[in-house]
Structure 1
Amino acid sequence: MSYAISGECCSDASCVAVCPMNSIHPSPGEPGFGTGASLFIDPRTCIDCGACADICPVDAAQPAEQAAPEDVERNAAYFAGADPLDAMDLDSWEAPSYQVWGGGPRRVLVVGAGPAGMYATRELLLRTSAEVTLVDRLGDVGGLVRYGVAPDHPGTKQIISSFERITQHRRVRWMPGKDASDLWAERDRNGWRKTGAAGSLPERFDAVVHAVGAGGSRRLGIGGEDAACTAEDFVAWYNGRPGSALPVELAGPRAVIVGNGNVALDVARILLSDEDRLRGMAVAPEVRQTLAASGITEVVLLGRRGPDEAAYTQPALQELLAAAGDRVELRYHARPTAWTADGLALDDGTTIAAGNLFTAIGFEGTPVDGLPFDPDRGIVPNVRGAVVGRPGHYVAGWIKRGARGGIGVNKACAQETVMTLVSSSRVPASPGS
């Protein structure tokens, strides 16, 4: 499935900025921009992330199966005869002919190879002649694209190959499976010796971009919650994230999922997939066998607020209902009070009998060693990406703006951070300075 832009397009190009695959044209500066009635989405490169629909001020970006057939045909026709466009392709990249980065830093460390880190690296390569060291504690690039996107959405994951090409650029030193704290060290005759915390700059770097995401799951704060399974753990397990394991034993026939976002719907859809559907997914055999043998045939999706405040998108809901509509119950305005052997107790005195409880109420950032931290917002305090009070340190992605927004939002977020980095020689002392 791809997205298409309808005839009501306002051509303000906000969708262009967030598209992770540069699939929307003509963009500002390209021939035809501002002269036609619409922008267009290339169906060959669209990864169905929905970033354009989330930001479109007039709701013109729609899933192709919901758009008018003539609009789908018009989008495809715009790109007929052209080579597929991929703004992440670095094969012909050279150092830019201009420099926004005056006499600033030239050696940059990017911590985290998820979307925010990869877009920050890409932007540094485009706008400067800097050498970039990219580290991630996992052995692959992609972050939540690789280990968070559901396995029945393979199209969304195709952006990973573009991220991998970034690591092959001649000005990128890619260090997979590396803890960034090792870089705040120097070698002496006895081995590695720490020389400073993350709040300082390693001697061989001029700037650091922290794109470490939000590593913790939000909690309900109810009794018995430790016996539940977070969406983070469940998703990491079925996607094969290194070191992950299923922390609970799946037990049917009913499961309750607290949460009303797209991740909650992903969990429900995977739990209710039959063996034929599971065989079509890129999951490990043991994951497929465990899911098929779970005995879970019914899911209750529990929202603590009303349907108008649900965070899932309509395409995600329709996909779930199409796959298992008669086995999904949507319940709203429900407040859990405890998870017990009998099931999930609610504040109205009732209990939903279930064998498993899953919580999918979002992520929250965790402190970064050596940097300031705002626990209420779950972010490192920053001004347009520049860490407050830590010259040379920058943030991008969820640790910068909070755990919200999909793949495409990270593109604009990283661009802002890098523009701050290359255009500023000092960091404001406080957000208001």
Structure 2
Amino acid sequence: MSYAISGECCSDASCVAVCPMNCIHPSPGEPRFGAGASLFIDPRTCIDCGACADICPVDAAKPVDQSAPEDVERNAAYYADREPLDGTDLDAWQAPAYQTWGGGPRRVLVVGAGPAGMYATRELLLRTTAEVTLVDRLAEVGGLARFGVAPDHPRTRQIISTFERIAEHPRVRWRPGTDAAGLASGYDAVIHAVGAYQSRRLGIPGEEAACAAEDFVAWYNDRPGAVLPVELTGPRAVVVGNGNVALDLARVLLSDETRLAQMELRDDVRRTLAASGIREVVLLGRRGPEEAAYTASALDELSAFPGAQLRFNARPTRWSEAGLELDTGETIAAGNLFTAIGFEGKPVAGLPFDAERGVVPNVRGAVVDRPGQYVAGWIKRGARGGIGINKACAQETVLTMLATS
């Protein structure tokens, strides 16, 4: 399923900046930008990541099944006589007014091959003549796009093929399965794009027997070394959290054998989920619905599951075999507790760290008091925003690097 832009489009181009596939046009600098009533999404290259919907200030970007038929037709018609554009065609595509470093090749180390690191690498290739060394502790590129996307959203993972192309560029030295410790010397600049994979904790008694989103998502997405730390026990589970990750967990837990068979899952993961007996999931929000962090499209998708229940303004106080105790005095009987209240970054060796925010202190990507050190992605801005938003984030970091080099 792709997205479409309706006639309410304000044409401020926020969506253009975050689209990971360069599929929203006309963009600034192109003919017809600002002259028409709308921007348009190319349905042939849209990967259904929802980044445009997340950032649209007027709620004009919507999944096609929630869009008016005339809006869907108008978006498709704009591209009827145009070849699909690949925003990462590094040999042919150049955005206007790119600034480049002079003085010949420079050496840059990018730590982390998730979306932020890959977009940072892409920006370096397009804007500079730098030689880029790209390292990651895992054996494959992708990070969140590979190991964080729900298995029932396969289109979103199509961006991985783009990241693989970036890693194969002649000016990129891709070093998978590499610890970055001790590698910083000998480089003109280092971009740390290490993400924020550590789940936040509720801080309640009995939480050690719960399953954090970090572990459950890594397990069902087959992240190397990941194991399921709990036994799945039906018929009811509680998921504390009201973001898209919490809704992802609920959909996966409530999927029947037919739906599971359509997902890209390891056989033993599929069997374990099918045998769990979980038929009801209570999604618990500690604040009100007006502060919920999920997107409208994610909520609409969950509405197809009759076993999903949303509850708000209830704070957990204890988890035990009896279930989840709340500050209201009520206990929700359940076999499993999952926590999905967000992620936080970990300190990066040699860099300052803001423990309260879980980020490396920075100014537009430049690490405070560390010349030549930069950050991008969640370790820069906190664990918020989807895959596409990392594109604009990485661009800002690289432009800051160019301005300070």
TM-score range normalised by the length of the shorter chain? over 0.9
* Residue 387 of structure 1 pairs with residue 359 of structure 2: no
Q: Is contact 2:205-2:319 (8 Å) kept? A: yes
Q: 5+ residue gaps in structure 1?
A: 184-200, 426-433
Runs ≥4 in structure 1, deviation > 4 angstroms?
Answer: 93-99, 102-105
Cα displacement (A) at 1:83: 2.0
Task: Judge which range, 21-30 or 312-321, deviates more.
Answer: 312-321
Aligned mate of 1:400, from 367, 373, 380: 380
Aligned residue for 1:168? 168
Aligned residue for 1:295? 277
Instruction: Give the percent of matched residue pairs that are identical in Structure 1 and Structure 2.
Output: 78
Q: Which residue identity does 2:177 align to in structure 1?
A: G
Paired residues in the alignment total: 405
TM-score calculated relative to the size of structure 1: 0.91
Aligned residue for 1:256? 238
* Residue 17 of structure 1 pairs with residue 24 of structure 2: no
For 1:325-382, what per-residue CA distance to the aligned partner results, in whole angstroms no more than 9, with x for missing partners? Answer: x211111111100001101011111110000000000000110001000111111011
Q: Which residue identity does 1:339 align to in structure 2?
A: W
Aligned residue for 1:3? 3
Q: Which residue identity does 2:231 align to in structure 1?
A: E
For 1:107-163, what per-residue CA distance to the aligned partner results, in whole angstroms no more than 9, with x for missing partners? Answer: 000000000000000000000000000000001111011000001100000000000
Q: How does 1:235-250 map to 2 (within 5 A)?
A: 235-250=217-232
Q: Is contact 1:100-1:423 (8 Å) kept? A: no
For 1:55-84, what per-residue CA distance to the aligned partner results, in whole angstroms no more than 9, with x for missing partners? Answer: 112111111111110010000011113222
Q: CA RMSD in A?
A: 1.6
Counterpart CA distance in 2 for 1:399 and 1:98 is 26
> What secondary structure does 1:84 align onto?
coil
Cα displacement (A) at 1:92: 3.7
Structure with higher Rg: it is: 1
> What secondary structure does 2:66 align onto?
coil
Q: Is contact 2:100-2:129 (8 Å) kept? A: no
Q: Which residue identity does 2:153 align to in structure 1?
A: H
> What secondary structure does 1:255 align onto?
strand
Q: Indicate how the Cα distance of structure 1 residues 139 and 291 shifts in structure 2: closer, same or farther if over 3 A, else same.
A: same
* Residue 311 of structure 1 pairs with residue 271 of structure 2: no
Counterpart CA distance in 2 for 1:105 and 1:82 is 35
Counterpart CA distance in 2 for 1:4 and 1:382 is 35
Q: Is contact 1:121-1:132 (8 Å) kept? A: yes
Counterpart CA distance in 2 for 1:101 and 1:91 is 18
> What secondary structure does 1:65 align onto?
helix
Counterpart CA distance in 2 for 1:99 and 1:74 is 35
Q: Which residue identity does 1:70 align to in structure 2?
A: E
Q: Is contact 1:96-1:128 (8 Å) kept? A: no
Counterpart CA distance in 1 for 2:232 and 2:282 is 15
Cα displacement (A) at 1:98: 6.7
Q: Is contact 1:252-1:355 (8 Å) kept? A: yes
Q: Is contact 2:195-2:345 (8 Å) kept? A: yes
Cα displacement (A) at 1:94: 8.9
Q: Which residue identity does 1:237 align to in structure 2?
A: W
Q: Is contact 2:3-2:64 (8 Å) kept? A: yes
Q: Which residue identity does 2:258 align to in structure 1?
A: D
Q: How does 1:105-254 map to 2 (within 5 A)?
A: 106-183=106-183, 201-202=184-185, 204-254=186-236
For 1:167-187, what per-residue CA distance to the aligned partner results, in whole angstroms no more than 9, with x for missing partners? Answer: 11110000011111152xxxx
Aligned mate of 1:355, from 319, 335, 355: 335
Aligned residue for 1:266? 248
Q: 5+ residue gaps in structure 2?
A: none
